[in-house]
């Protein structure tokens, strides 16, 4: 809520990219090989991409921008967009799945909010240090290479598959497809709130946040 401090937000994004090595990494192909590379941290510079427009124009622009900015075969493959209005700003952050999981998606809003607040207030952010994603991956690969046939996890999986006749068990419900075929993907969407209820819910959430922060 409030006008966006563009310089502070740029500093927050710079700190965010500096903290997370995966945001500065991408994929490079060479023949049949696929390598992941990392670039050094550098300041984030904002760019004005669009001026005032109606709702349909903004929606189409954001859909195209977010889709193009999260292509996993290109770098960078994450994008941050702000929609600024008098008195308020909406921040949209989108990633290719190679950069995030469910936990990091939950942590990102709080982390960016804290980094931005620290930049605005001229203070150090209250965040624990984070490790290297690539160093973690090397450790995981090394650990996997040390596992042999006699490892307890391998022995347990062998027993489980043997009990299932050498195959993974079927889904416990009848999906109406023959063995070996995939069930078609289906999505269900249900509107829970109309625009007026959503606005009221947002105000309640803001009031609760303000009370917790003491503002």
Lowest mean pLDDT among 107-111, 130-134, 146-150: 130-134
pLDDT the model gives residue 16? 92
Given a cut of 70, is residue 49 above it in pLDDT?
no
| Residue 92: DSSP 8-state | E
pLDDT the model gives residue 118? 94
- CA separation for the pair 46, 81 (Å, rounded): 9
Residue listed under structure tokens 């909406």: 90
CB atoms within 10 A of CB 203: 10
Lowest mean pLDDT among 41-55, 71-85, 140-154: 41-55
pLDDT band at 167 (very low <50, low <70, confident <90, very high): confident
CB atoms within 10 A of CB 126: 9
**66 with 81: CB under 8 angstroms?**
yes
**50 with 58: CB under 8 angstroms?**
yes
- Which residues, including other chains, have CB under 8 Å from residue 149's CB and lie 6 or more apart? 155
Q: What average pLDDT does range 203-211 have in this prediction?
A: 85
Q: What SS3 class is residue 30?
A: strand
- Contacts for 103-111: CB closer than 8 Å, 24+ residues apart: 111/16, 111/19
Q: Give me 191's structure tokens.
A: 């509107």
The chain-wide mean pLDDT, for the chain, equals 85
| Residue 57: DSSP 8-state | H
CB atoms within 10 A of CB 116: 22
pLDDT the model gives residue 9? 92
Q: Give me 81's structure tokens.
A: 């967009």
pLDDT tens, residue by residue, 183-194:
888 788 888 999
Going by C-alpha positions, the residue among 40, 44, 41, 48 that lies closest to residue 7 is 44
Given a cut of 80, is residue 180 above it in pLDDT?
no
Q: What SS3 class is residue 47?
A: coil
pLDDT the model gives residue 76? 86
pLDDT band at 215 (very low <50, low <70, confident <90, very high): low
pLDDT the model gives residue 53? 63
pLDDT the model gives residue 157? 94
**33 with 67: CB under 8 angstroms?**
no
**What is the distance of C-alpha 89 from the center of its chain?**
20
Given a cut of 90, is residue 97 above it in pLDDT?
no
């Amino acid at each position: 809520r409030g006008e966006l401090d563009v310089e502070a937000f740029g500093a927050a994004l710079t700190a965010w990219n500096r903290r997370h090595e995966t945001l500065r990494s991408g994929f490079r192909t060479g023949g049949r090989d696929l390598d992941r590379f990392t670039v050094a941290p550098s300041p984030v510079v904002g760019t004005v991409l669009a001026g005032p427009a109606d709702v349909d124009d903004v929606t189409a622009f954001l859909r195209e921008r977010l889709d193009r900015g999260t292509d996993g075969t290109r770098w960078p493959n994450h994008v941050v967009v702000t929609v600024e209005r008098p008195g308020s700003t909406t921040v949209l952050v989108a990633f290719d799945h190679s950069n995030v999981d469910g936990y990091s998606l939950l942590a990102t809003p709080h982390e960016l909010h804290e980094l931005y607040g620290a930049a605005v207030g001229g203070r150090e952010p209250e965040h624990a240090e984070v490790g290297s994603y690539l160093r973690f991956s090397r450790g995981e690969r090394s650990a996997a290479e040390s596992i042999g046939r006699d490892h307890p996890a391998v022995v347990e999986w062998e027993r489980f598959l043997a009990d299932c006749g050498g195959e993974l068990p079927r889904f416990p419900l009848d999906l109406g497809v023959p063995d070996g075929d995939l069930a078609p993907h289906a999505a269900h969407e249900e509107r829970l709130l109309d625009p007026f209820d959503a606005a009221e819910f947002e105000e309640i959430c803001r009031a609760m946040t303000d009370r917790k922060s003491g503002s």
